[in-house]
């Protein structure tokens, strides 16, 4: 992905288009700082009592409480019964790494199953954390949708107690999510085999525009009283990419176990980065604790999600108007920042060479990198590449 950006930056073409980057862009193609984030930062700057001392190993306590409430729901039984421990980590990546290392040290199974395909960083994170990485079927290239049967078969064949990484919503890189009914089947299967769910939640509120809808799969697993891990990131939904703000929550069977888990998480974090940064977590805490700012955030978040959904519709319509061969309905069925176009590496390379459109070689495009002005250019390129024998 970083290589794609380097090549894009070197290209002098005025029509060049970067669809590789996993960050939100405005209709003008510019990075966005949310108004609500600017307001929260102003509040922090104006508060002369604020200091820059180290945070505790677990991070900003208020941030941790509010993060757990945001992802699990204010009325979550796990929160009510103190069966959860939450630690502030370095965005989603750091949360996954801390969780992975904790499991490698203390969990009886050392194998984690990840989707095929998945985010490129997942295998590296868990391998370096000390786990053995295996894959389960997920994406079906023929339908450009979910291979649900393959998923159930592979999880059904996993050794009891294995860890399973689940994308809470807006699966990266495919944009293909299970339905709620399918999630319920996945939950039943995993609980019957004692598989340990580890959710990666990078897009809460950013996929559908609703914080509660995007957290539903996680809440279903928490409601049954079983254990699970949840890695949260505020990069996308608050636009805090470079602040590296995230949280790891571990839902346990009892408050006693949660306390022990927290002490072991401290032993993982202390030699890794000692304690997390203060600024980004403080921004999140200000927004989540203040009713007016929180409401304003949900509106800005929905506007970002709606713009991406609108880009999907516009691209689908543009391809239909051109009579582009093939069924492109997956573009509007998939959700979140990314779409798996179904284009192969040779087609991607043709589009880069002839149309100056940059994306990863697997055909994944970032819908957030598109705008109403650039949709026709992309549609022309896709039409050209599928009508030519490349």
**Strand partners for 167:** 200
Catalytic residue among 39, 177, 183, 200: 200
- Whether 353 sits among the annotated catalytic residues: the reply is no
- Whether 236 sits among the annotated catalytic residues: the reply is yes
The 3-state secondary structure of 211-271 reads HHHHHHHHHHHHHCCCCEEEEEECCCCCCCHHHCEEEEEEECCCHHHHHHHHHHHHHHHCC
Q: Hunting for tokens 């599928």 — which residue is that?
A: 386
| Structural contact between residues 287 and 293, judged by C-beta atoms closer than 8 angstroms | yes
HSE-CB at 159 with a 13 A cutoff on CA atoms is 10
Catalytic residue among 16, 39, 119, 183: 119
- Whether 119 sits among the annotated catalytic residues: the reply is yes
| Structural contact between residues 276 and 55, judged by C-beta atoms closer than 8 angstroms | yes
Catalytic residue among 154, 214, 236, 297: 236
Instruction: Please enumerate, as own/partner, the contacts of 348-355 that have beta carbons within 8 Å and a separation of 24 or more.
Output: 350/385, 350/388, 350/390, 351/381, 351/382, 351/385, 352/7, 354/381, 354/384, 355/15, 355/17, 355/380, 355/381, 355/384
Q: Please give the positions annotated as active site.
A: 119, 200, 236
């Amino acid at each position: 992905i970083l290589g794609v950006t380097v090549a894009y930056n070197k290209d002098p073409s005025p029509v060049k288009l970067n669809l590789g980057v996993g960050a939100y862009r405005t209709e003008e193609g510019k990075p966005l700082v949310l108004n609500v984030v600017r307001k929260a930062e102003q509040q922090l700057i104006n508060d002369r009592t604020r200091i820059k001392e180290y945070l505790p190993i677990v991070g900003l306590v208020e941030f941790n409480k509010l993060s757990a409430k945001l992802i699990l729901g204010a009325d979550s039984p796990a929160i009510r019964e103190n069966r959860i421990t939450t630690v502030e980590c370095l965005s989603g990546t750091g949360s996954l790494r801390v969780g992975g290392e904790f499991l490698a040290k203390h969990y009886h199974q050392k194998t984690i199953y990840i989707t095929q395909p998945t985010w490129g960083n997942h295998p590296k994170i868990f391998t370096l954390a000390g786990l053995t990485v295996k894959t389960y079927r997920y994406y079906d290239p023929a339908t450009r949708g979910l291979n649900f049967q393959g998923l159930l078969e592979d999880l059904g064949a996993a050794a009891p107690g294995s860890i399973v990484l689940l994308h809470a919503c807006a699966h990266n890189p495919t944009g293909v999510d299970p339905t709620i009914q399918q999630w319920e089947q996945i939950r039943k299967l995993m609980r019957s085999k004692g598989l340990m769910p580890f959710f990666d939640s990078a897009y809460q509120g950013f996929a559908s525009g609703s914080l509660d809808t995007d957290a539903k799969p996680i809440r279903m697993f928490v409601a049954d009283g079983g254990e699970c891990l949840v890695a949260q990131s505020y990069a996308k939904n608050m636009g805090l990419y470079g602040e590296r703000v995230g949280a790891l929550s571990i839902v346990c069977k009892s408050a006693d176990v949660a306390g022990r888990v927290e002490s072991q998480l401290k032993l993982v974090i202390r030699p890794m980065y000692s304690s997390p940064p203060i600024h980004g977590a403080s921004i999140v805490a200000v927004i989540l604790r203040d009713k007016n700012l929180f409401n304003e955030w949900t509106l800005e978040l929905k506007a970002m999600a709606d713009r991406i959904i609108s880009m999907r519709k516009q691209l689908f319509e543009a391809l239909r108007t051109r009579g582009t061969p093939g069924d492109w309905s997956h573009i509007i069925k998939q959700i979140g920042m990314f779409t798996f176009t179904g284009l192969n590496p040779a087609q991607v390379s043709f589009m880069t060479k002839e149309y100056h459109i940059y994306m990863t070689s697997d055909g994944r495009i970032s819908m957030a990198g598109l705008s109403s002005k650039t949709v026709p250019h992309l549609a022309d390129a896709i039409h050209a590449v599928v009508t030519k024998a490349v």
